[in-house]
Structure 1
Amino acid sequence: MSTSHIRVPLVVPGTVPELAEIEARILSERGRISLLYQVLLNSPSIASGWESMLTAVRNRTGVPADLREMIILRVAVLNDAAFEFDAHVPHALEAGFAQAKIDALRAPVPDASFTEDERLLLALTDRITREVQVPAELMERVNARFDPATVVELVATVAAYNMVSRFLVALNISH
């Protein structure tokens, strides 16, 4: 894989002794230090905070894994973040999200193959990602369906993965 297109240098794991603690934490949570984290390690404080926030979003909420991965994939589609999309397809499949639905996330409007909850969360994801502002009617529907903790976690998931995709795209992190 050529990384010459990335707009900042990669930090090769194990080459900067001051990063050993954060690298160990990343390895513990992720199992590897991915290309994204090799970029993030240019700023230890950002890498550390990023790892904490994204670990909370991915591994410490009540959002079902299939819905979380659906949201992440949709954000990636909307923001043209192929690296993020490709990274999360295996997670979505592992969570039981069907390949046909993964493919359907590329459509401008979700089709009838999605459940009512999935369509509601895709509407929320699309509004937050495309326009930031969420109409009161849509938030009322989300609040009627999910408890407050889950609403916070769902919105945080959309927001966090918008951050991820925008970071990846801005710094040209791709395969």
Structure 2
Amino acid sequence: MPRIPYQPADLAEPKELVDAIRKRRGGNLLNLDRMLLQSAPFARGWNAFLGEVRTGLELSPKLRELAMCVVAVLNGAAYEFQHHAPEFIKAGGTAQQVEAMQRSDTLGHDFSLFDSIERTAILLTIEMTRKIEVSDATFAAVRAALPNEQQVVELVGVIATYNMVSRFLVALGVEPE
């Protein structure tokens, strides 16, 4: 049960904002959108920022979605995982990898289903999410794994962004559709 009521699914105002969110979502408002629309300025900024994070980065969609899924698991954000696990598979991930991510012990111990770049991204995600501070060794591994500094910054940014998303979802009790 959400801690604050969602805005109605048929919300029409503020028209420009609601239309922009519906356009990005393929016509519908998700429960997340309906919660965000409690604050038009917040929803406007979120829509623009997350739209860029989802579609405007050079970082591979597979690594982006992997990081989003790992953050979701670590933070107990079922809503986030439900939305991003299918995107991870569409980007080249496997159902076995999705299952492995859902086992919290796997995130700490068994990376065998993931390639070396994915393992490095998982390690960075774990450190950023659980400890905030990233070890020099992990950061060096990320720099070595990715082709350029832009992608390093983008991976760090995705992890930070989806920690924000998961915390918003969990704190407000946003439910999966």
The question of whether the paired residues in 1 share the 8 Å contact of 2:12 and 2:18 is answered with no
Q: Following superposition of structure 1 onto structure 2, how do residues 94-173 of structure 1 map, counting pairs within 5 Å?
A: 94-106=90-102, 107-109=106-108, 110-146=110-146, 147-173=148-174
Which residue number corresponds to residue 73 of structure 2?
77
The whole-number CA distance in structure 2 between the counterparts of 1:145 and 1:160 is: 21
Equivalent position amino acid for 2:15 in 1:
A
- Report deviation, 1:7: 0.9
- Report deviation, 1:112: 1.2
Listed as ranges, the gaps of 5+ residues in structure 1 are none
The question of whether the paired residues in 1 share the 8 Å contact of 2:120 and 2:145 is answered with no
Q: TM-score, normalised by structure 2?
A: 0.91
Listed as ranges, the gaps of 5+ residues in structure 2 are none
- Report deviation, 1:52: 1.1
Q: Deviations over 1:3-51 (max 9, x none)?
A: xx1011211244453x111111111112121000000000011101111
The whole-number CA distance in structure 1 between the counterparts of 2:167 and 2:85 is: 18
- Report deviation, 1:163: 0.6
Please give the root-mean-square deviation of Cα atoms over the aligned residues, in Å. Answer: 1.3
The whole-number CA distance in structure 2 between the counterparts of 1:75 and 1:143 is: 20
Q: Following superposition of structure 1 onto structure 2, how do residues 18-97 of structure 1 map, counting pairs within 5 Å?
A: 19-31=14-26, 32-97=28-93
**1:77 aligns to what SS in structure 2?**
helix
The whole-number CA distance in structure 2 between the counterparts of 1:70 and 1:140 is: 20
The whole-number CA distance in structure 2 between the counterparts of 1:15 and 1:47 is: 13
Q: TM-score, normalised by structure 1?
A: 0.92
The question of whether the paired residues in 1 share the 8 Å contact of 2:2 and 2:173 is answered with yes
The whole-number CA distance in structure 1 between the counterparts of 2:152 and 2:116 is: 16
Aligned length: 170
The question of whether the paired residues in 2 share the 8 Å contact of 1:14 and 1:20 is answered with no
The question of whether the paired residues in 2 share the 8 Å contact of 1:66 and 1:96 is answered with yes
